[in-house]
């Protein structure tokens, strides 16, 4: 059995998840963006974190999935100039 990633969705993530879903992103892509499985996205859509008052609009991630690892790599590239890149 694979080890759990340790990544979870929170109430703070719910508006972004719902905004991406409203935009038409696939659950698979949303889950990949956050480093979780599709079941966690389904929990947000089912109201596990309540009903957020608004979506973040244009501040949500670009459509599609760069995946958690891709996002982490991009952040590390930017941070490498200052020597602050730290892999988990």
- Is pTM, for the whole model, over 0.75? no
> Residue 33: how many CA atoms within 13 Å on its side-chain side?
19
Model confidence over 35-87: pLDDT tens digits?
Answer: 889 999 999 999 888 877 666 655 566 665 555 555 565 556 555 555 565 55
For residue 84, what pLDDT is reported?
Answer: 60
Given this model, what pLDDT does residue 38 score?
92
CB 35 within 8 A of CB 42: no
Mean pLDDT across 4-32: 86
Best mean pLDDT range from 3-7, 9-13, 51-55, 63-67: 9-13
Using an 8 Å Cβ cutoff, are 16 and 61 in contact? yes
pLDDT in the model for residue 50: 81
């Amino acid at each position: 059995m694979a080890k759990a990633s340790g990544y979870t969705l929170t109430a703070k993530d719910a508006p972004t998840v719902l905004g991406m879903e409203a935009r038409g992103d696939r659950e698979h892509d949303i889950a990949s963006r956050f480093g979780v499985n599709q079941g966690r996205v389904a929990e947000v859509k089912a109201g596990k974190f309540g009903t957020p008052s608004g979506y973040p609009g244009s501040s949500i991630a670009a459509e599609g999935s760069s995946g958690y690892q891709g996002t982490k790599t991009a952040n590390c590239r930017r941070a490498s100039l200052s020597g602050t890149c730290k892999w988990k």
